[in-house]
Structure 1
Amino acid sequence: MIDAVTLNIVRALPLALLLAGCQSHGDEPNVPGNRDDNRPYSEIAANETVRFTGTEPFWGGQVVGKTLVYETPETPKGERIAVERFDGRGGLSWSGTLNATPFTMTLTPGDCSDGMSDRTYPFVATLQIGDALRSGCAWSDAHPFKGDAAP
């Protein structure tokens, strides 16, 4: 019998492989480094707080270590989720379970707009909860967004 954490990691594997395999058909890959560089993404420390936000529907929160807090308008104080981190070649992912539903968030470097402010975020966030897929942006203290603090 597979425990819940192992099951979530297995479910996150396709997203992790997507992070590792994102390459263009030209000479240059679309991920940091070159084709011979197989080191895991290391721009975000394991103890660094990463904040994220998305719209349609609105969602957000933060993750640090093995705890992710997921917020929606219905849960403004957030729901705490135990997560496992995976450092892929071109980004990171965190996987856990939210209300008995698989939860995986991936983070890749790249300019991101929330579509509602003049901010530019340094990371693209992709969230999958069960079969629902959402897009958003992310930042951290070491990698802040650019723009007004209170849009």
Structure 2
Amino acid sequence: MASGLLLTACQQGTGASSAPDTRPEGFTGIAPDEVIIFGGTEPFWGGEIKDKELTYTTPENIEGTTIRIERFTGQGGLGFSGVLAGETFDMTVTPGDCSDGMSDRTYPYTVTLQIGAEQRFGCAHTDRQPFTGPEES
């Protein structure tokens, strides 16, 4: 799963070693209380993450479907996991300039989404870290 790939390197060990853990605490670029707005094209999809809930939208479901998610902090970004319509839902959000290919906007985050066996790619911004470029596309 996509979030599993991102998070493999940051799992805390529970072994008997008495050596202090000197690894960094993980990605801190998006605060837990920030709202993450994400989306992609071909097919069109999007939504937002607020607290422990994610709303996923498509042109066929404009109101969206809201699911409970778990948030995971990796060294290079965040992972979110849940279940959408009986399928596993795994999404990673990582820093990096991203273009949706449809507007002149630049987003501060890239998104990789896995729903069941289907993988999608998109962009994201937060309520505190907006995209740059025109408001209307």
Question: TM-score, normalised to structure 1's length?
Answer: 0.78
| 1:42 pairs with one of 17, 20, 28 | 28
Higher relative contact order (CA 8 A, sep 6+): 2
Partner residue of 1:109?
95
Identify the residue that residue 86 of structure 2 maps to in structure 1. Answer: 100
Identity of aligned residues (%): 50
Counterparts of 1:11 and 1:134, CA distance in 2: 11
* Correspondence for 2:15: none
Q: Work out the CA distance in 2 between the residues paired with 1:68 and 1:47.
A: 13
Amino acid at match of 1:38: P
**Which consecutive residues of structure 2, in runs of 5 or more, have no partner in the other structure?**
11-21
Provide the rounded CA distance (Å) in 2 between the counterparts of 1:37 and 1:118: 38
Corresponding residue for 1:56?
A: 42
Bigger fraction of residues in helix: 1
- Please say if 1:134 is aligned against 2:120: yes
Equivalent pairs counted in the alignment come to 126
2:6/2:74 contact within 8 Å kept: no
- Structural mapping, 1:55-94, within 5 Å: 55-94=41-80
CA distance in 2 between partners of 1:114 and 1:107 (Å): 15
Report the alpha carbon displacement of residue 15 of structure 1 after superposing the two structures with TM.
4.0
**For 1:119 and 1:136, how far apart are their aligned partners in 2?**
13
Across the aligned residues of Structure 1 and Structure 2, the Cα RMSD in angstroms comes to: 1.8
